[in-house]
Homo-oligomer: A and B are copies of this chain.
Amino acid sequence: MYLFNSDYLEGAHPLILKALMDTNLIQTPGYGTDDICRAAAEKILAACEKPDSFVHFLVGGTQTNMTVISAFLKPWEGVISADTGHINVHETGAVESTGHKVLALPGSNGKISAGQIEACASAHMADGDREHTVKPAMVYLSQSTELGTLYSLAELTEIHGVCRKYALKLFVDGARLAYALACGENDVTLKDLAHLTDAFYIGGTKCGALFGEALVISSPELSEHFRYMIKQKGGMLAKGRLLGVQFGTLFTDRLYEKVGAHGIRLADRLRAALSENGYRLFAESPTNQLFPIFSARQLEALQKEFSFTLWQKFDDGAAVRICTSWATDEKAVDRLIDMLRELKEQ
């Protein structure tokens, strides 16, 4: 049985494990105040071409989202998100647990537009009773989104403009950023993210690391007390150097790019096979998540050898999610493509 359910099914890229072995008995001070973390942060800022930003390492995505959002917002402020956004649907109310409302806007393929954001912010400002409603003060996007789609540089720039106009902070969740960056359709670079957002993070957990997200904050004001928040919200690893070791490795010899490229190359092969064999898609995505619709007959056959994530059930069959990653075995992809060919509807 081969699992295509997600991009966090295995451990870490072998080079990362090797780095953990090599540094294992080095003594460092705790909580990420060590030289290994400092060096990794410098590599990340160099890759972002923004040396005056600030890097903080956290353990996981939900943790990063709630820590950033609760650190940046005042108590009466809320965060705008697509209704399909991870913070709105898949974090057990972590943002609300810190006291803030998620202002969900209807997404289109997992994305929201500058126009929608502007309408939300300007409606609040025009409300004579505005203190009776939550003040929109931040925008949360994912790149790639929960449906595998991408914001283009033009879209991101326009959203950035609206955020400046209405004093909204812009925060991008990059849990799957390696696959976004490696995607042929993508035109948003690390440099763009570092310059257009108030904060974004470079996902490690789904992109080759055992765990860990590298948060990049643009301004000293937002970064100054951020370590208090990491500690309070439970995200400060005693052996913080583990995050430095992993991200240092990912940003050496372009490993982060290679990790993304492997996942995207195999996803592209699957995407082509699905298309050539006439499979319908539940959602169009250019990155490492695919959402094909299979009939009951097809599903039964495929599930003898493969496992997918059930996305939505239909009367005859279901939409499923197939994920590739840095760890996906090409032979499994070969075999799945063969089966897609055999099982296609006549």
Contacts and interface: CB of A to CB of B under 8 A. Distances in A.
Interface of A: 2-3, 5-6, 8-12, 14, 17, 20-21, 23-31, 59-63, 66-67, 70-71, 74-76, 78, 89-94, 96-102, 128-129, 131-135, 205-206, 210-211, 225, 227-239, 242, 310, 327
Nearest to A135: B228
A92 B11 contact: no
A59 B10 CA distance: 18
Contacts of A3: 27, 29
B8 A27 contact: no
Given A9-B28, A239-B11, A91 B20 contact: no
A221 to B, nearest CB: 12
A233 B234 contact: yes
Contacts of A76: 92-93, 225, 228-229, 232
Contact of A23 (B11, B74, B128): B11
Nearest to A234: B63
Nearest to A90: B132
A25 B10 contact: yes
A253 B90 CA distance: 39
B10 A26 contact: yes
Contacts of A96: 78, 96, 99-101, 134
A146 to B, nearest CB: 12
A90 B70 CA distance: 20
A307 B148 CA distance: 49
A92 B9 contact: no
A91 B231 contact: yes
A6 B225 CA distance: 24
Contact of A132 (B63, B92, B128, B237): B92
Contact of A6 (B2, B30, B60, B134): B30
Contacts of A17: 20-21, 24
A60 B236 contact: yes
B211 A239 contact: yes
A232 B97 contact: yes
Which 10 pairs from chain A and chain B are nearest by CB? A63-B234, A76-B228, A11-B24, A92-B232, A93-B101, A8-B238, A131-B227, A93-B134, A96-B101, A9-B27
Nearest to A16: B24
A60 B227 CA distance: 16
A126 to B, nearest CB: 10
A249 to B, nearest CB: 14
A75 B226 CA distance: 10
Given A25-B327, A76-B228, A231-B91, A238 B206 contact: yes
Nearest to A29: B5
A210 B225 contact: no
Given A6-B30, A27-B3, A66-B234, A78 B93 contact: yes
Contacts of A97: 75, 98-99, 232-233
21 contacts: A9-B28, A9-B30, A10-B24, A17-B20, A25-B327, A31-B129, A60-B236, A66-B234, A70-B75, A76-B92, A76-B232, A90-B129, A92-B132, A93-B232, A96-B99, A96-B100, A97-B99, A101-B102, A128-B310, A131-B228, A206-B238
